[in-house]
Structure 1
């Protein structure tokens, strides 16, 4: 059992690094080896359990991605796509199951990786009922819009070649394994490939993450950049945005990643073993909004909740 986690980079890691250094420490370092309560320290076990908490919004986003993945895989296998009513019923049941599972705290304590615990239930948040109401509305809109998206209309046509669906992979940048996971990658008859990212929240600028995907696609499939199209599908509204890709975009994003890697490694006592500096080095960044949704607020003395 390795004493420290393996070093790697991902966009989600960078997002957490920006959000709060103390949260970053808890998630990527303090929780390591906490899955084994015989070998991990009580602090590691506690951090690992809290790391597994899911809030309703994140759970819904994951379920919506699973909905899209299931429909695409059936289409790719030559089968009929699931009916919207079936998708809606399945998502509603899975959300309800998560809530029911969260009531069994002892089962979660025994197996936090396999047993669902919603953070709103664990912490007794008063936001639970309003979040359930919001997610019910978003769920209906996501199901209603999926088959009307430009992406679905295109992949349903003859001659489309689906290359990747929700597949983890990586590229190497600055001697670091950089993880990528595209929601969908397909090739059109004009030989252009389309990177698709499903979103279930508000519209925002996600272009940097998508340009990283484009860098991966260019390298893996040996494609010129002018044959790569990036598309963000906002399932709640039914809108979408498309981006073309230039060498300048790729270079800028890769430089940003290099800067993140340097800053993350400055938080290490030993970058060969990925041994972090002491917890006190990771300065907390408390705010009422961020602390409210932080899994680790129970462990953090700086939490303002």
Structure 2
């Protein structure tokens, strides 16, 4: 049964941690002010924060679409259906991004009412245009990412190796550490029957980042907790679709200790910004400071920050 909560449930995820570290004001808007913003009777400020939370810039929209396309392609393979060709996949991505553009330009009122159902691009919302150079860059990335997907190690293993057993694909999962609910989403998880190796695959449409390996360590914690397997049997893999590079990692116990410490330390820091931790009631908005940086112009909540500075 649907329950209206005054405050959101506290949980932890890698993306929540990154937002908290990036800017406390953004963190407050995203995880607290936007809460209940989907309700008809919500205050206008909550509704605005909820809408802004659901804006996506073009690179993020591209990444989400490509992830969806990969999931659909592999789901079709597992169901014994005909796979889409390279050109068909490219066109599917373009069609999805074109739809996001159409929503952003022609369905603004619909998006205002239903920001989860309709899409809004950050570039259109704040600047009312897409730079031609950005459009050309995205077109090039689409071609490169789809080409590298079809030639990637993981994709070809999944569709050709009869020795593998698919476990999970693009599912939101939870695991508890010290009573804290932690969210993880594995792009793809399969097991090699003969070697009994479990392979976690993470598709990346952006450039390599030093935190990529840390994110995979969280997936390993989830795997060990749910399936009770040993660390020696787990391989974690990043497939970088922009460069075509595949990176496999194996972790040691120290890596897992570091991952657990990250969750613990991050959770403790977040809770210092709560007035009542038992119900996840936040401190007053003024207690969440802005971090001024080059990211401000591309922040979803730019409108809120700019408006409050003008008051």
Q: Pick the aligned partner of 1:94 from 89, 93, 96.
A: 96
Deviation at 1:64, TM superposition (A): 0.7
Q: Deviations over 1:255-292 (max 9, x none)?
A: 111000000000000011100001111110011x2111
What residue in structure 2 maps to residue 291 of structure 1?
296
Does structure 2 conserve the Cα–Cα contact (< 8 Å) formed by 1:166 and 1:181? yes
Note the 1:3-152 alignment, pairs <5 A. Answer: 3-38=6-41, 40-103=42-105, 104-124=107-127, 128-152=131-155
Deviation at 1:126, TM superposition (A): 6.1
Does structure 2 conserve the Cα–Cα contact (< 8 Å) formed by 1:121 and 1:128? no
State the TM-score, normalized to the length of structure 1: 0.96
What residue in structure 1 maps to residue 217 of structure 2?
211
CA RMSD of aligned residues (A): 1.5
Deviation at 1:80, TM superposition (A): 3.1
Give the direction of change, closer, same or farther, for the CA distance of 1:23–1:35 in structure 2 (3 Å limit).
same
Deviation at 1:153, TM superposition (A): 2.1
The structure with the greater share of residues assigned to helix is 2
Q: How many residues align?
A: 302
What residue in structure 2 maps to residue 235 of structure 1?
241
SS of 1:123 mapped into structure 2: helix
Q: Deviations over 1:30-69 (max 9, x none)?
A: 011111132x111111111111111111100000101111
CA distance in 2, matches of 1:209, 1:82: 30
Runs of 5+ unmatched residues, structure 1: none
CA distance in 2, matches of 1:128, 1:252: 42
Give the direction of change, closer, same or farther, for the CA distance of 1:125–1:203 in structure 2 (3 Å limit).
farther
CA distance in 1, matches of 2:280, 2:180: 12
Does structure 1 conserve the Cα–Cα contact (< 8 Å) formed by 2:124 and 2:130? no
What residue in structure 2 maps to residue 169 of structure 1?
173
SS of 1:196 mapped into structure 2: strand
CA distance in 2, matches of 1:143, 1:182: 20
More deviation, 79-88/7-16: 79-88
Does structure 2 conserve the Cα–Cα contact (< 8 Å) formed by 1:163 and 1:186? yes
SS of 2:52 mapped into structure 1: helix
Q: Deviations over 1:99-129 (max 9, x none)?
A: 0110132121122221111111011166633
Runs of 5+ unmatched residues, structure 2: none
CA distance in 2, matches of 1:17, 1:77: 40
Deviation at 1:78, TM superposition (A): 2.5
CA distance in 1, matches of 2:188, 2:119: 27
State the TM-score, normalized to the length of structure 2: 0.94
